[in-house]
Amino acid sequence: MAVKAIAGNVIREAIRQKIIYVTVLFALLLFAIEPILPSFKVGLKIQLFQDIALGVAYIAIAILAIALSVNQVPGEIEKRTIYNVLSKPVRRGDFLVGKYLGILAVLTACAALMGIAIFGFSFAYFGRLSYGVFQGMLTATFEAALISAFALLISTFASPTVNVFTCLLFYFVGHVKNDALVAALQGDGAIRLVRIVLKYFLPSLENFNVNEAVARGLVVKPLFLLELLLYAIAFSATFLVVASVTLRRKEI
């Protein structure tokens, strides 16, 4: 019951935040005006529209994941509401899980709205029912869920400003992480440690990018979606466990 109550409170607080409406409305506006841009007059029609629209949606949902997560723990400490919550029979792990599930519910709703918008504009402008768009938004939600879990972890020991910077770095490195990046880090000592962390312990966010396949009308196989889901769950769970341990050791 405690987890449910905390999640519900996160949802209510998120609904009052203007950044959600600004980000989603800005994305919807870009979806609407995109097909009337000059580049669409050279024959690159629905594929270009969906590729760009999904790219915008991915970035928008990632921004929301960071914005909703970075201040969850510091904000509770600053308002001193965390003392009231933890004084009750609520474990700190449950506190974080409730926060996470509330954020995830908001992100899922925003992703669904953007997916419906892209689907609707694809049909309105090009007459095509592109159901693959929802697969793209599903993987975007997986990625956002992972980013949110990471942001919650950082929020247990860092300020929101530091957390935002760390999450942006995490997002950038997660998308450029590949064999070339790992191979470029040659050397011993600290460099070798960084290479090992990048290769084995940092999630590759680029795995969630199925924009091109969706834009080309290709079907993303359910097995691949399941693999991405398990991948996101594994890393998210790891981040939340570490966050729980960190919060338990924190004197509150």
pLDDT digits (tens, 9 = 90+) for 25-82: 999 998 888 777 665 555 557 788 888 899 999 999 999 999 999 998 888 878 777 7
- pLDDT at 168 exceeding the cut of 70: yes
Q: 174 with 203: CB under 8 angstroms?
A: yes
pTM of the entire predicted model: 0.88
Q: How far apart, in whole angstroms, are the C-alpha atoms of residue 209 and residue 178?
A: 14
- The pLDDT tens digits for 182-214 are 555 565 556 666 666 666 677 889 889 898 888
| Nearest alpha-carbon partner for 111 in 147, 156, 70, 79 | 147
Chain center to CA of 219: 23
Report how far residue 188's alpha carbon sits from residue 170's, in angstroms, rounded to the nearest whole number: 23
* Amino acid letter for position 8: G
What's the mean pLDDT in 120-138? 88
